[in-house]
Amino acid sequence: MIDINTALGHWPFMRFPQTTPAKLSRHLKKEGITQALVSSIDAIFYPDPDVYNRLLAASLKSFPELLPVFTVNPVLANWEKIVESSKVKTVKIYPGYHNYSLLSAPVYLLAEKLIKNKMSLMIQMRVEDERSHHPLCQIPPVPVADIVRFAEKYPSLPVICFCPYFAELIPLTSGNENVYVDISFVEIMNTVTRVLKDVPAGRILFGSHTPFLYTRAAAMKTEYAEIDRKTYKMITETNAQKVFKLK
C-alpha cells in the first residue's frame, strides 16, 4: 500500500509515538504500508516552512520508502525555490493555517508553475476535526467551493484534497476530473464501497493521516471494503503511482 497522507514532527495539541523516520517506517510497515509521502508537521507553524522541509528531506535520506513532501506558503518569497527543489512531483499547501484564500494571485502563480513543472498540488483542507480545535486556535477549513473554482481554472493541474469529510466528496469531485481525495477523514457505513457510488475509483487515494489518526483505522476501511481486487489496488497503490509519478 502507498500512504499519501503521513507526517513527521510536533503538534502542540498531541503527542505522537512515531517521532523519528525509523519509528514511522516501522509503524507503517506493520500496517502493510510499503511507501509513504511524508510532510513536516513543524513546517505548518514555523514562519519559513523551507527550514523544516530541508530537515525533513535530510532525515529521510536513509529511508527510500518515505518520500518528503515539501510545504509551500505561496505568500512567502521562497515558494518558487521550494517548488524547484522538490524531488517528489508535488507540494502541499495549508490555506487555512497560512491564512490566505485559494482564489488569490499568489496561489495562481504557484498553480502555473506547478503545471509548467508537471507537478500536482496537495491541499490540506483541515488537520483536525474543527469541533475539537483549541478554542483560541480555531482554523477554518478550506472551503469546498474555493477548491472547485480553483480546479476549474486549472484543469491540467492535479489537485489532491487532504482530509475532506464524506459530505464534501461529491461537490469536490463531481465537476472537475482533476480533483482527487484521500480517505483519511471520510467515514460513513461501509465507507469505501459507499464512496464509490459517487466518486470514480481513479480519484480516490489511500491516506491514513498518520500520526494524527490511528493508521489501522484507515487500513481497515480499505481491507473491509466490498470491492474487487483491481479497485482495491487502484485506491491503495496505482492511483498514487500515477498522480505522483512514483516508481
Partner 1 sequence: MIIDAHTHYPFAEYKEMKDITEVIRQAKKFGISKLFLLGDVFRHGHFQNEEQVKEINDLTIELVKKHPDFLVGFCYLNPANSPDFLVKEIERCVVENGFKGLKFEISMNCRSKKLDVVMQKAGELGCAVVQHSFYRAAGRYNEESTPADIADLASRFPDVKIVMPHLAGCGMRGILDIAGHKNVYVDSSGSQPVAGMVEYAVKTLGGDRVLYGSDAPGRDFSAQIGRIYGAEISEKDKAKILGLNAVKIFNLK
Q: Which positions touch partner 1 (CB under 8 A)? A: 14-17, 128-135, 138, 185, 187-191, 194, 209-221, 223-224
Question: Considering beta carbons, is residue 117 or 214 the nearer one to partner 1?
Answer: 214
Question: Considering beta carbons, is residue 116 or 197 the nearer one to partner 1?
Answer: 197
Instruction: Output the smallest distance, CB 217 to partner 1, in A.
Output: 3
Question: Considering beta carbons, is residue 212 or 244 the nearer one to partner 1?
Answer: 212
DSSP 92-135: EE-HHHHT--SSSHHHHHHHHHHHHTT-EEEEE--SS-GGGS-T
For residue 160, list its beta bridge partners. 122, 180
Instruction: Output the smallest distance, CB 225 to partner 1, in A.
Output: 8
* 91, 71 contact by CB (below 8 A): yes
Question: Considering beta carbons, is residue 68 or 211 the nearer one to partner 1?
Answer: 211
Question: Considering beta carbons, is residue 193 or 238 the nearer one to partner 1?
Answer: 193
Instruction: Output the smallest distance, CB 150 to partner 1, in A.
Output: 25
* Cell 497503490, located at residue: 237
* Cell 481513479, located at residue: 202
* 41, 128 contact by CB (below 8 A): no
* 73, 42 contact by CB (below 8 A): no
Instruction: Output the smallest distance, CB 3 to partner 1, in A.
Output: 14
Instruction: Output the smallest distance, CB 118 to partner 1, in A.
Output: 33
Question: Considering beta carbons, is residue 51 or 217 the nearer one to partner 1?
Answer: 217
What sign for the dihedral angle of Cα 159, 141, 60, 66?
A: negative
Instruction: Output the smallest distance, CB 198 to partner 1, in A.
Output: 11
- CA 74, CA 149: separation in Å to the nearest integer? 18
- CA 63, CA 85: separation in Å to the nearest integer? 19
CA dihedral 98, 89, 7, 223 (to 10 degrees): 120
